């Protein structure tokens, strides 16, 4: 029973990893086709929003590799480098996410910056923020029955698995 459950989890993680990896390449292609077919002149905000999304998806792919390995080995520990790297990613993402509004502001005050946003480019940026929140803070995606049960039972959004892993690492490091 436990082995079967572990196999389902591993299969689910593999599917998620592969889909996220596929989307790193597929989404920019779709954006390129959409922008060129509509002859959009101010493509920079779209490209930056898509870059943010793909960077966060790449971090997700990178996160799932050790998770899959841990499930295969029946372990819960990640290498120390993993925690340092994802702590860096957290801050790097905050910096990258803050550049978008800075560019919008600079576009308003100086003609040197050409960063004209639209509703659609802002939606791309909003999706990047949601992806960041989903990976690093709260689990916003509810893609299986257990997630929905938790949501209905406790009436709150649970912390993201990466957040919980990072919290366990902090507690482990504080112990002598």
Answer yes or no: is pLDDT of 145 > 90.
no
pLDDT of residue 88: 94
Radius of gyration of the chain (CA): 19
Dmax over CA atoms of the chain, in Å, equals 64
Per residue in 2-44, pLDDT tens? 677 888 888 988 999 999 999 999 999 999 999 999 999 889 9
Helix residue ranges per DSSP H, the chain: 2-37, 44-73, 80-109, 119-136, 145-154, 161-174
| C-alpha neighbours within 13 Å on the C-beta side of residue 103 | 19
The residue-averaged pLDDT of 123-148 equals: 90
pLDDT digit string (tens) for 80-133? 788 889 989 999 999 999 999 999 999 888 887 788 899 999 999 999 999 999
pTM of the model: 0.88
Q: Give the 3-state secondary structure of residue 159.
A: strand
Show the tokens assigned to 84: 């340092």
Q: What is the pLDDT of residue 151?
A: 84
């Amino acid at each position: 029973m436990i082995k079967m459950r572990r196999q389902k989890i591993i299969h689910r993680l593999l599917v998620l990893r592969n889909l996220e990896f596929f989307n790193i390449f597929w989404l920019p292609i779709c954006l390129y086709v959409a922008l060129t077919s509509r002859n959009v002149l101010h493509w920079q905000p779209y490209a930056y929003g898509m870059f943010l999304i793909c960077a966060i998806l790449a971090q997700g792919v990178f996160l799932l590799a050790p998770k899959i390995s841990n499930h295969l080995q029946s372990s819960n520990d990640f290498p120390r480098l993993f925690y340092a790297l994802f702590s860096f990613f957290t801050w790097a993402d905050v910096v990258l996410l803050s550049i978008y509004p800075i560019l919008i502001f600079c576009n308003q005050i100086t003609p040197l910056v050409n960063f004209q946003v639209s509703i659609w480019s802002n939606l791309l940026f909003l999706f990047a923020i949601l992806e960041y929140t989903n990976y690093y803070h709260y689990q916003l995606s509810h893609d299986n029955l257990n997630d929905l049960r938790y949501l209905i039972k406790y009436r709150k959004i649970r912390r993201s698995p990466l957040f919980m892993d990072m919290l366990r690492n902090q507690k482990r490091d504080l112990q002598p």
